[in-house]
Amino acid sequence: MEDKLKKQKIKYFFYSLFAYLLGATIYDLIFNYERNGSRVIFAFIFGFVIRALYDLYEHKRYPEMKEKEKQLEKDERLIIIKDKAAYVTYNITIFILAISWIVTIVKQNEELNIFITVLILVMIATMELSKYYLSKKM
């Protein structure tokens, strides 16, 4: 069952990618390659809708798979793995932003420097607030 779920997730990923590309192609055919931003939004929404419909179909067809998926969401080991992965991702993101911040100083790009500074501060504040909230809760 778990192996089937893994395969299904890979299938979902490619299905979503295909739906996104299909959305972009449909947009190009209708609007004749105009407005790049709108094309991305259209393709994203199209992909999202198709994926949601496919999810609904799969849920009706294999209800036991969804049950297993819900069960695995409660698995304590998987929760710990997700938390650790999120923490590593957070640290790497902060590190990359810090390097970008230094680059913007060297390149004297003030607007981008302010944007990155705000981004770093928001990330740190969110992390600290989450820690404070969770420490009060537990």
Partner 1 sequence: MKNRLKEIRATKGISQEELAEALEVSRQTISSLENGRYNPSILLAFKIARFFQMSIEDVFIYEEGNVDGR
Is 85 one of the binding residues for partner 1 (CB under 8 A)?
Answer: no
∠ CA 28-31-35, nearest 5°, is 85
- Residue 74: CB minimum distance to partner 1, A: 6
Is 111 one of the binding residues for partner 1 (CB under 8 A)?
Answer: no
Tell me the HSE value of 86 on the side-chain side, using a 13 A CA sphere.
8
Q: What distance, in Å, lies between the first and last C-alpha atoms of the chain?
A: 34
- Show the tokens assigned to 93: 């993101």
Is 77 one of the binding residues for partner 1 (CB under 8 A)?
Answer: yes
Is 6 one of the binding residues for partner 1 (CB under 8 A)?
Answer: no
Between 85 and 124, whose beta carbon lies closer to partner 1? 85
Of the residues 72, 96, 98, 129, which one makes contact with partner 1 according to CB under 8 A? 72
∠ CA 83-85-87, nearest 5°, is 70
Is 1 one of the binding residues for partner 1 (CB under 8 A)?
Answer: yes
Between 1 and 124, whose beta carbon lies closer to partner 1? 1
- Residue 67: CB minimum distance to partner 1, A: 10
123 contact partners, CB below 8 Å, separation of at least 6: 90, 93, 94, 97
CB-CB contact of 116 with 97 (8 Å): yes
Is 92 one of the binding residues for partner 1 (CB under 8 A)?
Answer: no
Applying CB under 8 A, the residues found at the interface with partner 1 are 1-2, 71-72, 74-78
